[in-house]
């Protein structure tokens, strides 16, 4: 059996690596940074393990091979299944046991649906970014950015809804403002230069601004609840702070291209996975923190009749 597997293995060249036996579907090989098309050249410090020039069928098959996108794809895919499972548990057990209202079910559904869409869009992009058509690859990139926006919207909807549960005016103001910002991001993607390298910095600024906007309703919520000394503020504020610290750390990893920047010749493929895994898991934990904050904000007020 072992000899049969070795006979079916393709020996592929991985740049600075030696020839390495990898079990891959016929027609798929990995490339170095110098060999890939220009539209895939995003990080020159990631030197090996690229998929490229693939039709859609082989892009799907590449889900099961080892490349510099493997961990990125699977971390988001597992994230989708995690939120899907949490959604079923929430709808069938948590909310009914708390005698939740119809509004609670709607908000919970919107929140988890947004997270699942975000995860699936990222899976799609990292799976099909190696498509032989640059136009197709760009479309998946646009879908990935749209998914990130939807994920951010899911965070805001649940957070603002319950933070300003007793203040309908400010709840509507912040929800409408967030929705307008997300729509503005969607319209910005229509611009032909939006997905180009020239707009890379502008894209980062846009998403940082949309994410950072959450500081404003957070400070307002702290003030409305009596300042930092209030019990409810001391319970929830640390969760929000940790969420933003994780997001900031992930963003710094992304823009600084660490650690592959300092170790370009030492197994760059695995450093690539480490860096991108940091981003994927940071986003996953951000959403998990938001989820459990939302869970507490539903159950505790219902139990205390606030």
What is the structure's pLDDT at 6?
39
Q: Is omega for the bond preceding 259 within 30 degrees of 0, making it cis?
A: yes
* Other CB atoms within 10 A of residue 215 CB: 11
**Strand pairing category for 20-22 and 10-12:** antiparallel
- pLDDT of 137 above 90: yes
Integer Cα distance of 210 and 188 in angstroms: 13
The residue assigned the tokens 């998914």 is 147
Domain boundary assignment for the chain: 2-62, 68-301
- pTM for the full model? 0.81
Integer Cα distance of 72 and 286 in angstroms: 16
Distance of CA 109 to the CA centre of its chain: 18
- pLDDT of 295 above 70: no
For the segment 120-144, the average pLDDT, to the nearest whole number, is 94
- pLDDT of 26 above 70: no
Tokens representing 241?
A: 């702070």
pLDDT tens profile 71-101: 889 988 988 998 899 889 888 998 888 888 8
Asked whether the beta carbons of 150 and 117 are under 8 A apart, the reply is: yes
- pLDDT of 302 above 50: no
- Mapped onto helix, strand or coil, the DSSP state of residue 26 is coil
Tally of CA atoms within 13 A in the half-sphere of 87 that contains its CB: 19
For the segment 185-193, the average pLDDT, to the nearest whole number, is 86
Helix residue ranges, H only, the chain = 2-8, 56-61, 70-89, 95-97, 102-128, 134-163, 168-188, 200-212, 215-224, 231-256, 268-304
Q: Minimal CA–CA distance to 25: which of 62, 50, 55, 54?
A: 62
Q: Which CATH number fits domain 68-301: 1.10.3470, 3.40.50, 1.20.1070, 2.60.40?
A: 1.20.1070
Asked whether the beta carbons of 116 and 69 are under 8 A apart, the reply is: no
For 195, the enclosing helix (H) or strand (E) is none
Is 200 assigned to a binding site?
no
Phi, psi of 152, rounded to the nearest 5 degrees: -65, -40
Asked whether the beta carbons of 42 and 75 are under 8 A apart, the reply is: no
Residues 6+ apart with CB under 8 A from 149: 182, 185, 186, 207, 210
Q: With cut-offs at 50, 70 and 90, classify the pLDDT of residue 272.
A: low
């Amino acid at each position: 059996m072992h000899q049969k597997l070795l006979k079916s293995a393709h020996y592929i060249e991985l740049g600075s690596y030696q020839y390495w036996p990898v079990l891959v579907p016929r027609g798929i090989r990995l490339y170095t940074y110098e060999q890939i098309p220009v539209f895939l050249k995003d990080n020159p410090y990631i030197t090996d393990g690229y998929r490229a020039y693939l039709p859609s069928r082989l892009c799907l098959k590449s889900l099961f091979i080892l490349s510099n996108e493997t961990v990125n794809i699977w971390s988001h895919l597992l994230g989708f299944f995690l939120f899907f499972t949490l959604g079923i548990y929430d709808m069938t057990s948590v909310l009914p046991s708390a005698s939740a209202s119809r509004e609670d079910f709607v908000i919970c559904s919107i929140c988890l649906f947004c997270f699942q869409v975000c995860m699936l869009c990222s899976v799609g992009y990292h799976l099909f970014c190696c498509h032989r058509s640059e136009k197709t690859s760009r479309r998946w990139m646009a879908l990935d950015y749209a998914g990130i926006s939807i994920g951010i919207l899911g965070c805001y909807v649940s957070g603002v809804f319950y933070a300003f549960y007793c203040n309908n005016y400010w709840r509507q103001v912040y929800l409408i403002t967030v929705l307008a910002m997300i729509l503005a991001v969607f319209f910005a993607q229509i611009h032909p230069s939006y997905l180009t390298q020239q707009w890379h910095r502008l894209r980062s600024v846009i998403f940082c601004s949309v994410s950072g906007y959450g500081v404003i309703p957070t400070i307002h919520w702290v003030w409305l609840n009596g300042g930092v000394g209030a019990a409810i503020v001391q319970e929830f504020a640390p969760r929000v702070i940790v969420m933003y610290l994780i997001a900031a750390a992930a963003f710094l990893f992304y823009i600084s291209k660490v650690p592959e920047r300092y170790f370009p010749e030492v197994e760059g493929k695995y450093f690539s996975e480490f860096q991108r895994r940091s981003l994927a898991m940071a986003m996953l934990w951000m959403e998990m923190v938001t989820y459990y904050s939302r869970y507490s904000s539903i159950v505790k007020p219902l139990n205390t009749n606030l």
